[in-house]
């Protein structure tokens, strides 16, 4: 599918964005192996999260979808209640599904196979395989070592004391899920803190887990209790609307009920530091998470340097931040972001190539990019090449570019933000 975007006059109004994918994946997995019944509201109906739902249903979990109310109901089967799936588990394009399920499946009493689409099968899995193997897991790659598809055999797991070599919530979560089935406690250490949704959810559902400084301790074999929850809006999805609100002149928008977890809100800190007019209103808690309304007013931005410990707090938002940097005064430098190269695409190159086609003054570096601004953008034909965030970045660029911007393969946006273009249209003022 191709979608064409034209320059607009301003953005105005209130919207909501889909529920947070990271929280949703974990809510499905943990409630499926909990005792009791849970209703999850504001569940994101994008394909990534549906892949996790379908995987758990294939193993005997009882998950009912209600698209009309954007909610799901989960009847937990308990820690040892899952059963062998009839076929291999297809994570499709979802790296979170594949990596978290690896942690869950190594603790089961049945064999399983995880695969994915052509894009996911190119993404490295060794970062999860290595620590799980240290716990005693039996994991095999049938084709290329360290990549999907992989086979998992039943095994006896032991707890480990493991320091993450990179900041990765997916790797950390896979270890914590496996630790539930181990014979002894597990300690995970982080030199740089990554998103902590798994720890929060395990704590609220009854696990014995202790987090302090750079150390996470978790005891094995807990009884988890199902928990109803409202999933906050995904700040990674809101990031595109926030950026549009800053860049399109004369704009004033409010994004309701967005997750404000401090391990995810780095983009707000960066934009405020660049001079962005962003206000947070109506803060409240939900199942251990913080959410609130984000009010954005168009702003003149200045350049910045993005590096170090803040990178894990905004890794998924770096492509759209790069677009903002093309309109900021001065030279913006993004570094320490090597992780971008192993996302749905090599997002360093994808971001640089796409923005260059639109007229940006931007160059790639081994661990990030250098962007000069402000630079007028012009419309062009660009290709998402299967990466939903690159497609959305190009769409936001089209709102400020002269002429028409056409995004080829824009259907990939539905992976994370179904209704994205309708949401834009709802707050766009054309003349």
Q: Kindly list the catalytic residues.
A: 316
Rg (CA), the chain: 21
| Cα gap 320→220, rounded to integer Å | 40
Instruction: Please report the sign of the dihedral spanned by the C-alpha atoms of residue 5, residue 10, residue 11, residue 13.
Output: negative
| Residues 100 and 112: beta-carbon distance below 8 Å | no
| Residues 216 and 160: beta-carbon distance below 8 Å | no
Cα 199–chain centre separation: 16
3-state class (DSSP) for residue 103 = helix
Give the containing element (helix H, strand E) for 246: helix 235-247
Peptide bond between residue 3 and the one before it cis (omega within 30 degrees of 0):
no
3-state class (DSSP) for residue 48 = helix
| Cα gap 259→291, rounded to integer Å | 4
Burial 371-404 (b: 16+ CB within 10 A, else e): bbbbbebebbebbbbbbbbbbbbbbbbbbbbeee
Give the containing element (helix H, strand E) for 324: helix 318-326
How far are the Cα atoms of 203, 279, 310 from residue 262, in angstroms, in the given order?
17, 16, 11
């Amino acid at each position: 599918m191709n979608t064409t975007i034209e320059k607009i006059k301003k953005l105005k109004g209130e919207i909501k964005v889909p529920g947070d994918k990271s929280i949703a994946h974990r809510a499905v997995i943990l409630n499926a192996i909990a005792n009791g019944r849970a209703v999850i509201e504001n569940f994101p109906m994008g394909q990534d999260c549906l892949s996790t739902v379908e995987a758990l249903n294939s193993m005997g979990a009882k998950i009912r979808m209600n698209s009309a109310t954007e909610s799901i109901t989960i009847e937990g089967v308990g820690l040892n209640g899952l059963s062998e799936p009839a076929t291999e588990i297809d994570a499709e394009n979802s790296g979170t599904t594949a990596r978290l399920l690896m942690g869950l499946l190594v603790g089961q009493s049945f064999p399983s196979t995880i695969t994915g689409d052509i894009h996911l099968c190119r993404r490295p899995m060794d970062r999860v395989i290595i620590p799980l193997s240290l716990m005693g897991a039996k994991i095999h790659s049938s084709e290329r070592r360290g990549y999907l598809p992989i086979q998992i055999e039943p095994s006896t797991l032991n707890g480990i004391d493991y320091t993450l070599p990179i900041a990765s919530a997916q790797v950390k979560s896979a270890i914590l899920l496996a630790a539930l089935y181990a014979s002894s406690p597990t300690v995970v250490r982080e030199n740089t803190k990554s998103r902590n949704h798994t720890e929060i959810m395990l704590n609220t559902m009854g696990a014995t887990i202790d987090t302090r400084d750079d150390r996470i301790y978790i005891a094995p074999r807990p009884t988890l209790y199902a928990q109803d929850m409202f999933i906050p809006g995904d700040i990674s999805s809101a990031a595109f609307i926030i950026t549009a609100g800053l860049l399109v002149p004369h704009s004033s928008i409010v994004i309701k009920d967005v997750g404000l977890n401090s391990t995810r809100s780095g983009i707000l800190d960066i934009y405020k530091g660049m001079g962005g007019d962003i206000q947070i209103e109506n803060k409240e808690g939900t199942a251990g998470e913080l959410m609130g309304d984000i009010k954005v007013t168009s702003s003149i931005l200045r350049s910045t340097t993005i590096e170090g410990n803040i990178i894990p707090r905004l890794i998924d938002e770096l492509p759209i931040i790069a677009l903002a940097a093309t309109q900021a005064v001065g030279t913006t430098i993004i570094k320490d972001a090597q992780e971008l190269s192993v996302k749905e695409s090599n997002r360093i190159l994808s971001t640089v190539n796409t923005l260059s086609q639109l007229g940006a003054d931007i160059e790639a570096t081994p661990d990030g990019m250098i962007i000069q601004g402000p630079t007028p953008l012009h419309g062009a034909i660009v290709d998402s090449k299967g990466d939903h965030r690159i497609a959305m970045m190009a769409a936001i660029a089209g709102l400020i570019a002269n002429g028409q911007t056409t995004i080829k393969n824009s259907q990939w946006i539905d992976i994370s933000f179904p209704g994205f273009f309708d949401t834009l249209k709802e707050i766009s003022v054309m003349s």
